[in-house]
Structure 1
Amino acid sequence: MERISTYVPNLDDILNGGLPQHSMILIAGVPGSGKTVLASQIAYSNATPDRKALILTTVSEPMSRIIQFTQEFTFFSLEKVNQAVIYEDLGPVVLEGNGEHALAHVIERVMEVQPSLLVIDSFKAIHDMADSPAALRRTLYRLAASLATLPCTALLVGEYEADEFLSEPEASIVDGIIELINQPIGLRDYRSLRVRKLRGSGYRSGEHSFRISREGIVIFPRFVTPSTPVRYTVSQERVPTGIPGLDELLHGGLLRGTTTLIAGDPGVGKTVTALHFLLNGARVNEPGAYISFQEDPNQLAQIARNFGFDIESLQAQGTVNMFYTSPVELDIDEHWLRIVDAVERVKARRVVIDSIGDLEAGARRDPDRYFNYVYSLVQWFKNQGVTAMLTAEIGQMFGTDLVLTGRGISHIADNLIALRYVPIGREVRRAITVLSTRGSAHSNEVREYRISEKWGPQIGDPISGAFSLFERQS
């Protein structure tokens, strides 16, 4: 099947290579969801004087306003207007007659202009002016038949509420349906795209988030594990953390390609532990990427400096990539592409995500999305041979019970290390224990965990009364 590129970042991947050539596609969504932007972006990106795009506007929005707002995007080209991109206002035709009369006029203009791409915006206005669903179906069929004789791909843009279009005649006649969604969640609007139909072709299912900027629409495909598991050899190589005493508890270090969850009380040393794991690796030329949500790069650089690390020098050498993103209005699928870039930029063998709980806030639109996302993330690390460390905060500070929460995330990680505060006499000390290491033996001792700027983190003597463990799934 021949296809045409949409030139919308990542949309061709979702469509398995682009729009089927000479097809009829319905772009549906509520008002303000980005339908006109998407259609215009595809039209301007494909149109040339030899392969024209014909954009027919109706009574939903005046043609002059569409052109005015389209000029704000970088894909707009004034030189293409009336040379490669032809605009025509169908409003008077629609108002004077009915939907069938308007579509008959569309067929006439298509035969005259012979465009390679046709956009009708909004087709829903023509639909609403039709005398009956049966009459609309007959005329729409004639339009499809006329387009079939031409090398023309058609985009029908329409304002439809959720699932409204599924019962309309156009849904059965068009070759594909792309739905744009604009859903308010909390204080932000969450934009997503979903392919509902693509005749004769596979596509990546599910909702895919997107943003609209001056460059137009950028889509962030939903991050999932491959449908066929990637085959790899499970490594028995040990990756030392470089933290005195911890590698002994781990019987030599973490297994290469595994993911470790560091769970603990606020301020107990999770970030310090993860940072030492990463920077100790960089000191022996094992590149690493630090993905942070809470500590910005300046804070992390100062923390590292307190322990004798020079992050700026390690970054200049290309062995460390410190990547920070604010957790406010975080979209996890958009962020995933940035994680990949951060890892690939230094060819990281070690990765830290601090903390994994911030990803849950970015997935609150779907209760299952957080679990699926973290599972896919861990599997991707395995496939790449990356040894990862994730931090997570637990509650009940100073309590004797250790409650692991987070929708079963502790079961996804290969290794689990717990840190706690424990009051002993008049002092508050830190305790550490290795709860599990998948496929590997480990010490079951609970030890004191000492952190000082002079010596860094160190494992101390055995300590009692720190943990009474049970797990709670939510």
Structure 2
Amino acid sequence: MEKIPTGIEGLDLILMGGIVRGHAILVEGTPGAGKTTVGIQFIHEGVVRYGEAGLIISFEQFPAQLYRDAANFGWDLRALEAQNKVRVCCTSPEVLRDQLQKPDGLIDEWIQEMGARRILIDSISHLDTLSADPMERRVLAVSLLNALKQRGLTVLVTKEVTSEEGYGCSFEEYVVDAVIRVSNTADQETGRRQRHVEVLKSRGQDHISGRHYFRFGPEGIEVFPLQVVPTHQAVPGEAALLPTGVAGLDHLLDGGLRQASSLLLSGESGTGKTILGLQFLQEGASLGEKGLLFLYQETPEQVQQVAASFGWDLAHLEAEGLLTVVYAPFAELSLAEHLWVVRVQLQETGARRVVFDSLSAMLHEVSQQPHMAKERTDQLVRLTKGLGAAAIFIAEVPAGSSRISTYGVEETLVDSVVLLRSTRDGLRRKRGIEVFKARGANHVMGEHRMRITPSGIKVFYRPARGAERDDA
């Protein structure tokens, strides 16, 4: 069974490699959801990336309109027509039916002349003009699709629906091989509109279920699958130990943070979470290990100033290719898209260390949905592990709170939890650190003294014998 890519990377991942050659695919949705764009991208990418000529048959838009819409994404259909790789035709269902019934019709002429392998019909809803009888329309649809498939074409047809709710099952969904639904709905919490794509049916092939976020990018539709986690994941227990840059903390963690593991760094504002995260990345850079820093609240410039106060030059590390900083303000963040960005950054940079500052802000979109916060955190943890990175997730907790994490679910998903505290002692404040959890490690329990010094964080511990030390 041969599969052909649609040319939409995320959609091809959802479809486990693409669609079966020679199948008929239905793309349905309300007006403006992106049906026609999916179809044109299928044809355009088929030509440009896979060398497969294609036909575009429209029952309502003139070629000039399709040229204009395609040009918005940088797709030059006119040029491809001039190269005899694409044909754009505006006609009626009656004419198309008649041409397919002729052995030497125009469709057959184009197929032979171009070697066409793909076709877009926009849209099959116009078959309604041929008959008011549902059964007769079903027969017409089956005969149309079969005629195209018999000519060696992989067929993509669009269909309009009138409402996002209660689509039901139309006869078109039964007669095609796969059904893809696109939607553009308003979020009940924020009021912002979000686009989703869902594969409802894929005869003869597997797919990733669920509603996946997509958007219109500068070069076409971009789909962000829910399951971005690699199938082969590293096992933390078998990984090397990475020094955190804080010798005393390494001692508490039984040698450091394991490669391909996750650590939740939790504390109130001002307890040193960002500093410790930066120190972890700085230590990695000194060892030649690449790092990633995701920022959701403070800007890169603000964090550079913090780092500079300890003698750490983040701009230099970036210039040397040892650090990549990604700034994604939480108020503008789409979690589904951002998980994809995290995956791409980890794969492209090959980073061994990654810090998320903060996980609390990153999950803002689902802050009122604890189950979604848990699901997204789980995806993120498995993603970083699967790509072999040691990850520190910074969590913010309210002042005076006994909570371990922001949403009460994060600590159950990570390998280790480190708590930072700041308590008043007369006119001064005392800082403390505790390894609350360290899966698979013989960690030192209890709270230990911590200081923020001009060279970074120091953690003090008392060995079995002797005075308190920090091993700096």
- Same fold at TM > 0.5: yes
Q: How does 1:172-187 map to 2 (within 5 A)?
A: 172-185=174-187, 186-187=190-191
Counterpart in the other structure of 1:2:
2
- Shift, 1:143, TM fit: 1.2
Paired position in structure 2 for 1:469: none
Q: Which amino acid aligns with 1:219?
A: V
Q: CA deviation at 1:65?
A: 2.9
Q: Is the 1:103–1:139 Cα contact (8 Å) retained in structure 2?
A: no
The answer to whether residue 348 in structure 2 is matched with residue 355 in structure 1 is: no
* TM-superposed deviation, 1:142: 1.3
Identical pairs, percent: 29
Residues 28 and 179 of structure 1 are in contact (CA less than 8 Å); yes or no, is this contact kept in structure 2?
A: yes
Structure 2 Cα separation of the partners of residues 217 and 316 of structure 1: 32
The residue that corresponds to 1:420 in the other structure is 421
Partner residue, 1:340: 343
Cα distance change on mapping 1:179 and 1:458 into 2, 3 Å: same
Equivalent of 1:190 in 175, 191, 194: 194
CA distance in 2, matches of 1:233, 1:352: 17
Match of 1:79 in 2: 79
* Structure 1 pair 284–141 and aligned structure 2 pair: CA distance change class (3 A): closer
User: SS in structure 2 opposite 1:119?
Assistant: strand
Q: How does 1:59-458 map to 2 (within 5 A)?
A: 59=60, 61=61, 63-81=63-81, 83-90=84-91, 93=92, 101=94, 104-105=97-98, 107-108=100-101, 110-111=107-108, 113-114=110-111, 115-127=116-128, 130-160=131-161, 161-162=163-164, 166-185=168-187, 186-225=190-229, 230=233, 232=235, 234-235=237-238, 237-363=240-366, 368-395=371-398, 397=399, 399=400, 401-402=402-403, 404-406=405-407, 408-452=409-453, 454-458=454-458
User: Whole-Å Cα distance in 2 between the matches of residues 282 and 173 of structure 1?
Assistant: 58
TM-score by length of 1: 0.85
SS in 1 for 2:332: coil
Deviation sequence 1:313-338 (CA, Å, 0-9, x none) = 22233322222222233123322333
Change in 2 beyond 3 A, CA 1:247/1:68: closer
Contact map agreement 1:188 1:329 (CA 8 A) in 2: no
User: Would you say the 8 A contact 2:265–2:395 is kept in 1?
Assistant: yes
Equivalent-residue separation in structure 2 for 1:164 and 1:143 (angstroms): 27
Please give the secondary structure, in 2, of the residue aligned with 1:79.
helix
Q: Is the 8 A contact 1:288 1:343 kept in 2?
A: no
Instruction: Give the letter aligned to residue 46 of structure 2.
Output: N
Cα distance per residue 1:46-101 (max 9 Å; x no partner): 349x9653322224x555433332222212332224743333333xx46xxxxxx5
C-alpha change, 1:283 and 1:403, in structure 2 (3 Å) is: closer
**Matches of 1:181 and 1:355 in 2, distance apart?**
31
Q: Structure 1 403/260 Cα, relative in aligned 2: closer, same or farther at 3 Å?
A: closer
Query: How far 1:415 sits from its partner (Å)?
Result: 0.8
Distance in structure 2 (CA, Å) of the matches to 1:84 and 1:240: 57
Q: Which amino acid aligns with 1:195?
A: V
Task: Tell me the equivalent position of 2:13.
Answer: 13
Instruction: Measure the CA separation in 2 of the matches of 1:311 and 1:358.
Output: 22
1:212-257 deviation line (CA, Å, top 9, x unaligned): 1331112222234456x64647236432222253223323323333
In structure 2, the residue corresponding to 1:439 is in which secondary structure? coil
Partner Cα separation in structure 2 for residue 107 and residue 402 of structure 1: 69
Deviation at 1:103, TM superposition (A): 6.3
Secondary structure of the structure 1 residue equivalent to 2:45:
helix
Distance 1:53 1:317, change over 3 A: closer
Which string of whole-angstrom CA distances, capped at 9 and with x for unpartnered residues, describes residues 427-468 of structure 1?
Answer: 34433222111112223322343223x242223589xxxxxx
Q: Distance in 1 between matches of 2:263 and 2:355?
A: 9
1:472 corresponds to:
none
Q: Which residue of 2 aligns with 1:471?
A: none
User: What CA distance in whole angstroms lies between the structure 2 residues aligned with 1:209 and 1:106?
Assistant: 39
> Aligned letter for 1:277?
F
Distance change (3 Å), C-alpha of 1:367 and 1:56: farther
Is this contact kept in 1: 2:236–2:258, CA < 8 A? no
For 2:241 and 2:16, how far apart are their aligned partners in 1? 40
Gaps of 5+ in 2: 463-472
- 2:170 counterpart letter in structure 1: E
For residues 385 and 413 of structure 2, the distance between their equivalents in structure 1, rounded to whole angstroms, comes to: 12
Cα pair distance change 1:404/1:357, threshold 3 Å: closer
Q: 1:134 to 1:175 in 2, by over 3 A?
A: same
Whether contact under 8 Å (2:119, 2:155) holds in the other structure is yes
Aligned-partner residue type, residue 271 of structure 1? T
Question: Deviation of residue 129 (structure 1)?
Answer: 6.2
- Count of aligned positions: 448
Deviations 1:13-39 (A, max 9, x none): 222222221211111111111111111
Between the aligned partners of 1:235 and 1:212, the Cα distance in structure 2 is 42
Q: For structure 1, which segment, 116-125 or 218-227, has the greater mean C-alpha deviation from structure 2 after superposition?
A: 218-227
The structural deviation recorded for 1:363 is 4.9
SS state at 1:422 partner: strand
8 Å Cα contact 1:223-1:336 kept in structure 2: no
Range moving further from structure 2, 242-251 or 140-149: 242-251
Q: Please name the residue that 1:26 is paired with.
A: 26
Match of 1:470 in 2: none
* RMSD of aligned Cα (Å): 2.9
Does the aligned pair in 1 maintain the 2:67–2:78 contact within 8 Å?
A: no
